[in-house]
Structure 1
Amino acid sequence: MSEHVDPADGAGGGSTAAAPPGRPRTRLLLSLAAAVFVLDLVTKLVVVATIEPGEDIRVLGGALYLTNLRNTGAAFSFAEGATVVFSLIAAVVAVVIVRTARRLWSTGWAVALGLVLGGALGNLVDRVFRDPGFLRGGVVDFLSVFGPDGSVWPVFNVADSAIVCGGVLGVVLALRGVEFDGSRSGAERPGTA
């Protein structure tokens, strides 16, 4: 069994760090991101094709309303005037996550980052290809809970849900001290003082 050697501690010359036991979780991250992206894209295409802008369809006894709104801001319509900024941030986040994937051994982090990546790419596609133009397009939001048109909770989409869930999972993992390689930071080993 190989032991992970941190190049920063000077051991092993810095370039021959052994990987932790197991397999990298890159495939899990990318598969989950692709699934979120496709589900987000398909649901938005169906909404645009079947629901008129501003129309509300009551489902689940009013617990959920399907609608067709455009959001030029961040999640939950925050900062609607900064669409270009959010487009660029989404692109940077996607690049950072893909670059991080090479050193990812934690299943939890793979799930968290896969959700965020898929959601960021889903909304980025809307910002790039939808009106009013490149990097300024309105994101299709269509889920409104407990009331129509976001009267109870802001209208959102699959990508927004994935980003929020991935972010919450990432915070939980960070608070628990779980590192990208699956180890725990600051955790005392049994039998140590």
Structure 2
Amino acid sequence: MRIVYWTAFWAFLIDQATKYLVVHAMNLAERGTIEVYPPLLTLRMAWNTGINFGLFAEGAASSRWILIAVALLISVGVLYWAYRERPRRAGLVATGLLVGGAIGNVIDRLLYGAVADFLNVSCCGIDNPFAFNVADMAIFVGAAVLVLLPGEKGT
């Protein structure tokens, strides 16, 4: 299980470091947009009070606490599953990515009241209106690997 905790720690740390760098050091919170490699990569500030793609963002103030509780419950559930099932190394890393990303977004909700999203990727004439962050990538990759990984236990 050490690999789960170390992966979660690094996913969390990288997420929080990039958020601090972009939101505060680069002042994206006030600048709004920084074109890095347009149109492929743009830093575009978005405060997400909902879930993926801003769904349920118009909810009551209590939705913040509900989303925090749900993220923490899912994290505990995935950790319990990994402890009980002892998946192979890829499953352990995926579990760490998912948990580290979820905790990163929970910290945002506690500090800012919303998740700090800033990565915007567009390509091929399609203007993507959505932004995401490192935690979102970790959650997506972790969940995808857990879903797609064969259910074999490790040694």
Q: Which residue of 2 aligns with 1:120?
A: 102
1:115 CA drift (Å): 0.9
Residue in structure 1 matching 2:23, options 48, 52, 56 = 48
1:153 CA drift (Å): 4.8
Name the SS of the counterpart of 2:29 in structure 1: coil
1:105 CA drift (Å): 4.0
Structure 2 CA distance, aligned partners of 1:66 and 1:145?
9
Give yes or no for contact 1:74–1:83 (8 Å, CA) kept in 2: no
Give the alignment's TM-score, normalised by structure 2: 0.84
Name the SS of the counterpart of 1:33 in structure 2: helix
Query: Please, which runs of 5 or more residues in structure 2 have no aligned partner?
Result: none
1:83 CA drift (Å): 2.8
Q: Which residue of 2 aligns with 1:63?
A: 40
Structure 1 CA distance, aligned partners of 2:101 and 2:70?
13
State yes or no: 1:145 paired with 2:121: yes
Name the SS of the counterpart of 1:62 in structure 2: coil
Which 4+ runs in 1 deviate beyond 4 A?
none
Structure 1 or 2: more helix by fraction: 2
Q: Which residue of 1 aligns with 2:51?
A: 74
Give yes or no for contact 1:53–1:67 (8 Å, CA) kept in 2: no
**What is the Cα-based RMSD across aligned positions, in Å?**
2.1
Give yes or no for contact 1:53–1:69 (8 Å, CA) kept in 2: no
Name the SS of the counterpart of 1:79 in structure 2: coil
1:54 CA drift (Å): 5.7
Max radius of gyration: which structure? Answer: 1
Q: How many pairs are equivalent?
A: 146
Name the SS of the counterpart of 1:68 in structure 2: strand
Give yes or no for contact 2:79–2:95 (8 Å, CA) kept in 1: no
Give the alignment's TM-score, normalised by structure 1: 0.68
Q: Which residue of 2 aligns with 1:102?
A: 83
Structure 1 CA distance, aligned partners of 2:66 and 2:30?
25
Structure 1 CA distance, aligned partners of 2:102 and 2:70?
9
